[in-house]
Amino acid sequence: MTLIIFLLFMSGVFVFCSSRSHLLITLFSLEYLMLMLFFLFLIFLMNFNYELYYILIFLVFSVCEGSLGLSVLVNMIRSHGNDLLSSLSILSW
């Protein structure tokens, strides 16, 4: 079970590293990675009989990360008109 989730995590890392055109695809792959980390963390905690309150803290941080990513996406679409990463330049204001 852990090997399957690890392979799914590595496929998410591959998608994250290979998608360089749209910000939305990058954010989806980040959320997918967070979900796979959640499952790995859950299996780890259940194997060693630890408290599952750490899962709640992890979910809170992942929801905060998702909402920040969504706000960056909305701000980028409002200012540039699309979500292409090529239209976003850090040096131009």
User: How many domains would you assign to the chain?
Assistant: 1
Q: 25-54: per-residue pLDDT in tens?
A: 989 999 999 999 999 999 999 999 998 899
Is residue 93 classed exposed, middle or buried when 0-12, 13-18 and 19+ CB atoms within 10 A define those classes?
exposed
Q: Does 91 fall in a domain?
A: no
Domain region containing 31: 2-83
Residue 17 lies in a domain: yes
- So what's the pLDDT on residue 85? 76
Give CA–CA dist 86/37, Å, rounded.
29
Give pLDDT tens digits for 58-86: 999 999 999 999 998 898 888 888 888 77
The reported pLDDT for the residue numbered 20 is 76
| pTM, rounded to two decimals | 0.82
What's residue 1's pLDDT?
79
Q: Given the structure tokens 């910000």, which residue do they identify?
A: 23
Residue 30 maps to which CATH number?
1.10.287.3510
Residue 91 pLDDT greater than 60, yes or no = no
